[in-house]
Amino acid sequence: MKIYTNDDVSPDSLKGERIAIIGYGSQGRAHAQNLRDSGADVIVGVRAGGSGEEKAKHDGLQTAEIADAVKDATIIAILTPDMSHAEIYSNIIEKHAPKGAALLFAHGFSVLYGRVIARADLDVILVAPKGPGDLVRREYQRGRGVPSLFAVDRDVTGQASRKALGYARGIGGTIGGVIETTFKEETETDLFGEQAVLCGGTTELVLMGFETLVNAGYRPEIAYFEVLHELKLIVDLLYEGGFAKMHSFVSETCKYGDLVSGPRIINEETRERMEEVLADIQSGDFARDWILENMAGRPRYNALMRQDLEHPIEVVGKDLRSRMSWLQNKANVEA
């Protein structure tokens, strides 16, 4: 498998390119600043008078309304939330994008599921850092980079790969390493990871562990520490060194419990449920449900979110976290 690094991508890959960053949220802010600091010609497309414009100007970036930002751009990075892509593209970008420009996404959802069908003369590419925008920016400032994926869905100009890899280098991706993928592979694996493991799977496992202990008569505060607070320690060890590092830092008793009890919790039935989740993603059922949910005003989403945020573990956790000075200091710094 080829992993692209700085040795494979010329520092002049973006020479002569004008990059319009559409949206100034987590990824947009990081990409725009990193590209600017890499010497690229960057303009941020935002709503006049909005918070994005204020932040971008504060960061020393040139801003304009989206229509004006894209009219001279050769790379147009759409970095607003997925559900906004179709409207922004069809109402603004499609009319104003120059012939032969490249549409760039950080997630393939809108292209894979037909939310954005690009004009026939436009390249369609993807650069997806494997980390949140704050990390992408922070690692770049340290002279490091977050590993990234890139893909080419359509290459009209013959320059799509060069632009994608140049952009990846500009945000620091080629320091961490860049792997080629497809819009389909990136989107489906990303959705599956979020739903089955990283967010959906993890939060449900934590909630069920908390409820099991509390229902058995243990105090909520103790349950919180055991199933949520200490999770960070384990995740950090896994992140830094895989199973081997995790096992080297926990007790023998913990390791034995891991090996004999883990498969009782996460078992073949869990695998079957995961396969069902993946099948819903691959068939497009999840995407259709999410698109229709947004069209209806998100009633189910809002009800489920409210249920999550009102769970007793949130009440207990908020109180306990307020006593953890290191968390308060971190929140103040990041704000």
CATH 3.40.50.720 describes domain 3-181: yes
Q: Give the predicted TM-score (pTM) of the model.
A: 0.92
Q: What is the pLDDT of residues 285-326, one digit of tens each?
A: 999 999 999 999 999 999 999 999 999 999 999 999 999 988
Does 24 show up as a binding residue in the annotation? yes
Pairing of strands 75-78, 3-4: unpaired
- Kindly name the residue from 107, 229, 247, 311 that is annotated as catalytic: 107
Does 251 show up as a binding residue in the annotation? yes
Q: What is the pLDDT of residues 66-112, one digit of tens each?
A: 999 999 999 999 999 999 999 999 999 999 999 999 999 999 999 99
Does 310 show up as a binding residue in the annotation? no
Does 143 show up as a binding residue in the annotation? no
The pLDDT confidence band at residue 330, using thresholds 50, 70 and 90, is low
Cβ-based neighbour number of residue 300 at 10 Å: 12
The residue written with tokens 């280098």 in the block is 169
Q: What is the pLDDT of residue 286?
A: 98
- Rounded-to-integer distance, Cα 55 and Cα 23, Å: 11
Q: What is the pLDDT of residues 34-55, one digit of tens each?
A: 999 999 999 999 999 999 999 9
Q: Domain map of the chain by residue range?
A: 3-181, 198-266+298-332
Long-range contacts of 44-50 (CB under 8 A, 24+ apart): 44/20, 44/69, 45/20, 45/21, 45/69, 45/70
The pLDDT confidence band at residue 328, using thresholds 50, 70 and 90, is confident
Q: What is the pLDDT of residue 261?
A: 97
Is 107 a residue of the active site? yes
Q: What is the pLDDT of residue 7?
A: 96
